[in-house]
Amino acid sequence: MTYKSLDQSDHIVYIGGVESKGFGRSASWCLPGRYQALLEGAFLGADMALSDAQQTALSEALQPNSKRSLTRRARDVWANSERVKAHLEARLGEHICFATSKGGMSLWMHLSEPLDVSSLTSLLATFRHAIVPGALVSHEPDANHWLAVNVTLDDVEPLANALSEHLAINQYEQEDLAVEETTVEELESEKIVPEKIESEEVSPEAKVTEESVENEPSDKPAAEDSDKKSRNASTEPLYNPMLDLINHDFG
């Protein structure tokens, strides 16, 4: 009926009905618009004619200036939907975006990160008349990223606060997980040392050891030479000038 009330060119053929368990209380109707001449006989033959009271109520609802006008109600609903949309966008920022919509009783809101099961359960327990998870109405791969928001909400602030808390919790959990994964990767990279690095670390010590071993034999001959010189010096007589005088005088 909302679509029909907004149809200014009578392109929409609206078929409606109300079924009741009581006898004689069910009703159905058709608003053919510009196709009245083509469809009148067919639908009237199917017992889709309205009673006088039903026709009066329906006509009143379709009047643009009536208190019960569907047009007026539709405008009020969508003015409220724009308010809800603006409030959620201001509160949640880049975490959400809305699908373009021109009708219906809900706004489809796309979440940058899907809510986990516990978050959805908590939200539905408090806002079961305000949101519908996309996974309940669609089997698309990204259905978990969508929420249908009721455009008739009078106070959207509690829902905005709850969504902000749950989205922040999910974001912090993902950041912590990323930090943990990075830490694990760094630890693993520190444990894995290439063999080349190990050989480079060991080789200087080996070189020092080899050099010390090579230098030891060369030091030993030098020490032996010094010992021989000291022995020769001890066996040779010391020079005494008095002996030269005695030999010269009494020679």
CATH code of residue 110: 3.90.1150.10
- In sequence order, the 6+-apart residues with CB closer than 8 A to the CB of 96 are 88, 89, 109, 110, 111, 112, 163
Looking at 170, 194, 217, which one is the last position of a domain?
170
pLDDT level of residue 83 (50, 70, 90 thresholds): very high
111 and 167 Cβ atoms separated by less than 8 Å: yes
- Asked whether residue 87 carries a pLDDT value surpassing 60, the answer given is yes
Within a domain: 110: yes
Tell me which of 227 and 152 has the higher pLDDT. 152
Q: Average the pLDDT over 51-66 and give the result.
A: 69
Q: Where are the beta strands (DSSP E) in 64-210?
A: 96-98, 106-111, 131-133, 146-150
Q: 30 with 85, same domain? A: no
Q: Tell me: do 38 and 97 sit in the same domain.
A: no
Q: Quick one: angle between helices 52-62 and 70-92, nearest 10?
A: 50
More confident residue, 227 or 34: 34
pLDDT tens digits along 198-208: 555 545 555 55
23 found inside a domain: yes
- Confidence band (pLDDT; 50, 70, 90) for 213? very low
Examine the fold and report which residue of 125, 151, 170 is the final residue of a domain before the chain moves on.
170
Q: Rounded CA gap, 30 and 54, in Å? A: 12
Same-domain status, 165 and 81: yes
Domain count across the chain: 2
Residue 65: the pLDDT is 73
Residue 21 included in any domain: yes
Residues 102, 163 within the same domain: yes
pLDDT top residue among 40 and 38: 38
The span from the CA of 218 to the CA of 226, in Å, is 13
Residue 190 predicted with pLDDT over 50: yes
Looking at 170, 190, 217, which one is the last position of a domain?
170
Owning domain of residue 80? 76-170
